Chain A
C-alpha cells in the first residue's frame, strides 16, 4: 500500500488554542485526502476532505491545507474544545489511513 504517515503521534493543547495536526503522504497521484476523528470505542467520523487540485478548504472551525510540492497535509482546528480530544487520521482516497495523532485538550 501507499505510505500515509503522521509527524507527531501525540499533541496536547490548551482549551481555546488552535491545533495543527500534520500528515505526510507519498502517492502524488491521489485524487483526494480525508481527515477523520476517532473517539475511544467509536468508528472514525468524517471531518473534511480536500481534492488534490485544491490548496485549502475550510469547514466549521477546521481548515485543511494541502501542499503538493512537499506532499504534506495539515488539519487546523480553531479554538480547540475538550470535545475535540480524539485520535485524528488522514486518509488517502478511501483506502490508506495514517497511524493517527492523539489530540488531548487541556481545560
Chain B
C-alpha cells in the first residue's frame, strides 16, 4: 500500500488478555517507531527500530510490552496481561528522516 497500515483498527481486550498490534510500514522505510497516545494527549514514544534492530526501547512502560521487527519490515507490538491503563491509541510511524508517516493507529480498549 501507499501508506503505513495498522491492524486491527480497534481492539477490545479483557483485562489480563494478551494482545498483538501489527504495523506494516511503507516499503523500503528503514526506521520504524511505536507510540502510545492517550485521549487528549500527544503521542508518547515507546520504541524505535532501524531495520530489524531495536535501537531504543526506553519508552516501553513495563516488561509487559514487547515489540519486534524480525525481518526489518512488518512490526508487532505485543502487550501481555493487559490492564486498564493500557487503553490508548497505539501509533506506528515509518520514515526517511526527518519526515515521518504515521498509520491511523490501533485503538485499544481494556475492559
Interface, chain A (partner B; CB < 8 A): 1, 4, 32, 34, 41-46, 49, 89, 91, 94-100
Q: Given A43-B4, A43-B91, is A100 in contact with B41 using a C-beta cutoff of 8 Å?
A: yes
Of B12-20, B63-71, B72-80, B96-104, the one touching chain A: B96-104
Which residues from A are CB-within-8-Å of B56?
A: 95
A46 CA to B95 CA, complexed, in Å: 11
- Contact present for B102 and A44 (CB under 8 Å): yes
- Contact present for B42 and A94 (CB under 8 Å): no
Interface, chain B (partner A; CB < 8 A): 4, 31, 33, 35, 40-45, 48, 56, 59, 91, 93, 95, 97-105
Residue of B nearest to A97 (CB): B42
Which residues from A are CB-within-8-Å of B97?
A: 94
Which residues from B are CB-within-8-Å of A41?
A: 104
Which residues from A are CB-within-8-Å of B35?
A: 97
- Contact present for A43 and B48 (CB under 8 Å): no
A99 CA to B102 CA, complexed, in Å: 17
| Besides A43-B93, A46-B100, A97-B43, 16 new A-B residue pairs in contact (Cβ under 8 A), listed by A number | A1-B59, A43-B4, A43-B102, A44-B91, A44-B93, A44-B102, A89-B43, A94-B31, A94-B45, A94-B100, A95-B45, A97-B45, A99-B40, A100-B40, A100-B41, A100-B42
Min CB–CB distance B9 → chain A (angstroms): 10
Q: Given A96-B45, A97-B43, A99-B41, is A46 in contact with B99 using a C-beta cutoff of 8 Å?
A: yes
A43 CA to B23 CA, complexed, in Å: 13
- Contact present for A97 and B44 (CB under 8 Å): yes
Which residues from A are CB-within-8-Å of B43?
A: 44, 89, 97
Residue of A nearest to B100 (CB): A46
Which residues from B are CB-within-8-Å of A95?
A: 45, 48, 56, 59
